[in-house]
Structure 1
């Protein structure tokens, strides 16, 4: 997760000068605007924030769909986006730690974590937290509450809009939570096992009673060694897991190797680190979670 950190910090010094000069050289008076200009790290947070902001203000994100948040390498335009924004919302839980440290060197834009208050689940064999709290709706409600508290303080005039939008969105998340609990009942207790390349569903598993495992703990630790394949294949056989899954953002060949060694099929693709592209049916956080649950149910019931 922290590779290229030294290079990025070095680059940030150059970008600091670039951002600073362009800000000072501006001769056009700042125009009054309604609402905030918000930047966030990746598409999932973009969707959450958009549901609360509505038409008041703008929100955009840095990490393109299809790229790994754990390993993304910023480009100069990313720093400009952060510098031009009122606030930079991040996931926290160590996901963007390297990006935050570099950004803080080039701009004084506030960096705010939306996962504060989520009970962290540690990575196996590591002091860091697993960052994938957004994969469980219960945690997303915490994200929304943190967002509302911060955004109302920044834009009090928009409080009524933000609170109304947040209330409606939280209701959708609560309905999603109830729907997941119903769907999980279709899977026999002993078959509630989610296995894929990255062990990303820890928070989901905790909230909906699934055992989860992966070739590696997090994609920045990606290796795909014979020992890792063999370990996972043995777990699949011991637990009689009926199927495994692949991620939309990870090379499928890793899980294809595991499925062959374990003698089970790959039941389908799930979304973890990004929403789906337009036309995928998983273009929002709620849609992507529903897609994931449907794939789990079909593969494991």
Structure 2
């Protein structure tokens, strides 16, 4: 759910995008000879899609690594890239809602949602769904199944490749799921609480038996009010929470305030809305999830 207060900005981008679309280069234009040219919204989806397409397609994402999709401001080049794509894959669950509306007005590129079929978890005090379904490996299997069926419709000749790649990747996701369960045996049940700035781990927590909390529920909503800080600080103290965590894409000062107020240490950094930089060990989805689990175990096992 990108911030809707940028609609005036987007109107300007809309005009620029139309101009750029008319001048797009042959390198980025849709081309059956070169295979599918795919664009998606952010790096986590980019990696998941690449695991299924491999060399059969070119995959790009518009939100750079290190930034988070809730706050990203698209550029004219982003709109041009989407317009030149064979398909624009989105997470859905309202994460890219207003961007989808803009794209549908400037381009005939198909917009396909990968989270269809996921059992939604609502935001606190809100009828909208929490969009962070990708933080559950079980949900990512649903993403992959949706993806491979759409890819086959667009590129029937690649069906065998897509199905083989998807089968192999789903096997890795199932192995990841089993590994996570084994790792969490080290954490006492009373310590199974994940606290980050944005309460992004609801789907993850549901899968693996963790209670999750955040200063706020989602980054596109109001952030860091005194009431939010007070509520979470009280929760941390009353429940003897052993550790706090920070996100790679969010200013760490928010959680540092909770740490200073409660005396509970920040145990490490986790990945939610983006994969990690090169050399982080979290450069792809499976890597980022393993890094998250390692940080959770180290912070909560004692």
In the TM superposition, what are the counterparts of 1:26-65 in structure 2 within 5 Å? 32-65=32-65
Q: For 1:22 and 1:116, locate their aligned partners in 2 and report how far apart those are by CA, in whole Å.
A: 34
Q: Deviations over 1:18-56 (max 9, x none)?
A: 155437x99xx9865142110000000000000000111
- 186 and 288 in structure 1: CA distance in 2 versus 1, 3 angstrom threshold: same
CA RMSD of aligned residues (A): 1.8
Farther off after superposition, 224-233 or 270-279: 224-233
Q: For 1:289 and 1:279, locate their aligned partners in 2 and report how far apart those are by CA, in whole Å.
A: 15
Q: For 1:255 and 1:274, locate their aligned partners in 2 and report how far apart those are by CA, in whole Å.
A: 19
- 292 and 79 in structure 1: CA distance in 2 versus 1, 3 angstrom threshold: same
Q: For 1:127 and 1:241, locate their aligned partners in 2 and report how far apart those are by CA, in whole Å.
A: 29
- 152 and 30 in structure 1: CA distance in 2 versus 1, 3 angstrom threshold: closer
Determine the structure 2 residue equivalent to 1:103.
103
SS in 1 for 2:292: helix
Determine the structure 2 residue equivalent to 1:299.
299
Q: Deviations over 1:30-89 (max 9, x none)?
A: 865142110000000000000000111110110111122012111110111011110000
Q: For 2:60 and 2:260, locate their aligned partners in 1 and report how far apart those are by CA, in whole Å.
A: 41
Determine the structure 2 residue equivalent to 1:237.
237
SS in 1 for 2:23: helix
Shift of 1:13: 4.2
Shift of 1:219: 1.1
1:160 correspondence with 2:160: yes
Determine the structure 2 residue equivalent to 1:127.
127
Q: For 1:225 and 1:195, locate their aligned partners in 2 and report how far apart those are by CA, in whole Å.
A: 17
Q: For 2:244 and 2:143, locate their aligned partners in 1 and report how far apart those are by CA, in whole Å.
A: 29
Q: For 2:112 and 2:285, locate their aligned partners in 1 and report how far apart those are by CA, in whole Å.
A: 20
What's the TM-score, normalizing by structure 2? 0.94
Determine the structure 1 residue equivalent to 2:16.
15
Determine the structure 2 residue equivalent to 1:92.
92
Q: 5+ residue gaps in structure 2?
A: none
SS in 1 for 2:183: helix
Q: For 1:264 and 1:17, locate their aligned partners in 2 and report how far apart those are by CA, in whole Å.
A: 51
SS in 1 for 2:255: helix
1:2 correspondence with 2:3: yes
Q: For 1:66 and 1:53, locate their aligned partners in 2 and report how far apart those are by CA, in whole Å.
A: 24
Shift of 1:8: 4.1
Contact 1:35–1:158 under 8 Å retained in 2: no
What's the TM-score, normalizing by structure 1? 0.95
Contact 1:141–1:170 under 8 Å retained in 2: yes
Determine the structure 2 residue equivalent to 1:147.
147
Determine the structure 2 residue equivalent to 1:118.
118
Q: For 1:202 and 1:247, locate their aligned partners in 2 and report how far apart those are by CA, in whole Å.
A: 15
Shift of 1:239: 1.2
Contact 1:8–1:102 under 8 Å retained in 2: no
Contact 1:16–1:105 under 8 Å retained in 2: no
- 32 and 173 in structure 1: CA distance in 2 versus 1, 3 angstrom threshold: closer
Shift of 1:153: 0.6
- 240 and 153 in structure 1: CA distance in 2 versus 1, 3 angstrom threshold: same
Q: For 1:136 and 1:37, locate their aligned partners in 2 and report how far apart those are by CA, in whole Å.
A: 27
Shift of 1:6: 2.6
Shift of 1:127: 1.6
Shift of 1:160: 0.5
